[in-house]
Amino acid sequence: MSAARSTGPLDLDGSVLVVGSGLGGLRSAEGLRAGGFRGSITMLGAESRLPYDRPPLTKQLLAGAWDEARIQLASAESLEERGIDVELGVPASSLDAAARTVHLADGRSLHADAVVLATGASPRWLPGTEGATGVHVVRTIAQSIALRDELDALGGTGRVVVIGGGFIGSEVASTAHAKGLAVTILEALDVPFGPVVGDEVGGWLTELHRRAGIEVRTGVAVAHVHGRTESTTAVELATGERLAADAVVIGIGVRPATEWLEGSGLMIADGVVTDEALFAADSVVAVGDLARFSWRRAIGTDDVRIEHWEVTAQLASHAAASLLAGRPAASAVSLVPYFWSDQHGRKIQMLGRPAATDEILHVAGSLDEAKFTVLYHRGGRVTGVLGVASPRHVMVCRPFVDAGAPIAEAMALFESA
Ligand SMILES: Cc1cc2nc3c(=O)[nH]c(=O)nc-3n(C[C@H](O)[C@H](O)[C@H](O)COP(=O)(O)OP(=O)(O)OC[C@H]3O[C@@H](n4cnc5c(N)ncnc54)[C@H](O)[C@@H]3O)c2cc1C
């Protein structure tokens, strides 16, 4: 191990610290091993659990269909076999990026040849709500189980108010509704999902909720959430209206977990800023929900931070390859963003990263069938595709989205179908 600054390829017998034991941390460690790294890997995690998958926290785990074991991403034995040491339940408290030294909350300091930053993101609470009884966010397994138990205790009769109509809020709403509960979504925007999928498609996705029996109130401002310690749980709107609830769930987005990186010498701007190869500094890479990376694609280069499962997995394996290659030789990350969401028994999938202002073309299905596909385009070139219950249509568009192909070429696929 050397404290000297290093820009070259990682010594295959050297040492790596992976900070964060979620999907990004685990896949980075696995990527290093897959790339032939024989040295020591230590993965640090603030949570005391082995790496687990987050998408089921608002879906199968919250529904009660899957148990905790099913969402574990790696067993202690498989980590040990691959020589990935884990230190759980101790958060990193600071980093000296130039020295590649991580300081832990328990007072220890660890040094390595390279550091992977994978601390993800933390959910936002409304002021005064954190820790209030009956008020929830869902980011960790413990939070999902706490909400599941509270919803199940209602025995199929009760009211859930979900603040925030984005994907997390929508999935919680859908899962709670399937448990027989009355659900109201409160959304500050006039069109939920509008900034992500555009207003027209956002309107259709909202309509799917309404048709399923969920009340969606848009353009509303929440003034205060009363936790159960103050009589009943209730949400007070800016208008003074008070909505009683048996449980309140807040899904208003996340903040990248960068607090511990203040003073590290890294550039922080709504995430850890990296170059195209995911280096935040020499021998320091960032991945997953934490990373704001420079993304070169067919229609131009953007600085992006993308909170999707598949993007996290791809960034992690790319970051491992970047460390192994060394900064001068590392290549730019290349990916087609993909996410899915499950709501009311339907899969919503999106490929690409269209702007909300991109034009859309409705190419298959209809809102009435609750099954449709839309293509996004800008300047005549494909920027994305979104499908509801249409996986084949979405996947067949991947090369067109990747290449930013002329919209006419992608439309021809559907015209000939
Ligand atoms: C409820 C939910 C549902 C989702 N559903 C979907 C979906 O349907 N489709 C989709 O594409 N994506 C989905 N996602 C997004 C996807 O799960 C994330 O993009 C992915 O988990 C990001 O991985 P990550 O490793 O960057 O962060 P995380 O998974 O958040 O892992 C980061 C880890 O770092 C730890 N940590 C934080 N600070 C420190 C510190 N200082 N020291 C040490 N450890 C620290 C955290 O405790 C955490 O364990 C969902 C996310 C959530 C929360």
What local confidence, expressed as pLDDT, does residue 159 receive? 96
Q: Which atom of ligand 1 is nearest to the CA of 340?
A: 9
The Cα 366–Cα 206 span in angstroms is 14
Question: Alpha-carbon torsion 299, 117, 53, 289, what sign?
Answer: negative
Residue by residue, DSSP assigns 89-132 as S--EEEEETTTTEEEETTS-EEE-SEEEE---EEEPPPTT-TT-
What local confidence, expressed as pLDDT, does residue 53 receive? 98
What local confidence, expressed as pLDDT, does residue 230 receive? 54
Nearest residue to 222 via CA among 193, 184, 256, 191: 184
Kindly report, as residue ranges, where domains of CATH 3.50.50.60 are found in the chain: 15-122+255-325, 125-252
- pLDDT tens string 31-75: 999 999 999 999 999 999 999 999 999 999 999 999 999 999 999
On the question of pLDDT at 375 being above 50, the answer is: yes
Is CATH 3.50.50.60 correct for 15-122+255-325? yes
Residue by residue, DSSP assigns 138-199 as -SSHHHHHHHHHHHHHTTT--EEEEE--SHHHHHHHHHHHHTT-EEEEEESSSSTTHHHH-H
Mean pLDDT value across residues 343-370: 94
Assign domain 345-415 to a CATH class: alpha beta
What local confidence, expressed as pLDDT, does residue 233 receive? 86
- pLDDT tens string 327-345: 999 999 999 999 999 999 9
Backbone angles phi, psi at 319, to 5 degrees: -65, -40
Nearest residue to 164 via CA among 141, 135, 142, 184: 184
On the question of pLDDT at 20 being above 70, the answer is: yes
The CATH code for residues 125-252 is 3.50.50.60
On the question of pLDDT at 3 being above 50, the answer is: no
- pLDDT tens string 179-233: 999 999 999 999 999 889 999 999 999 999 999 999 999 999 999 998 876 556 8
With a Cβ cut-off of 6 Å, ligand 1 is lined by: 19-25, 44-47, 54-55, 57-58, 91-92, 118-121, 138-139, 168, 257, 260, 288-290, 307-310, 312, 339-341
On the question of pLDDT at 138 being above 60, the answer is: yes
Kindly report, as residue ranges, where domains of CATH 3.30.390.30 are found in the chain: 345-415
Q: Which residue has the tokens 């002329």?
A: 406
Between the CA of 308 and the centroid of ligand 1 the distance, in Å, is 9
On the question of pLDDT at 1 being above 80, the answer is: no
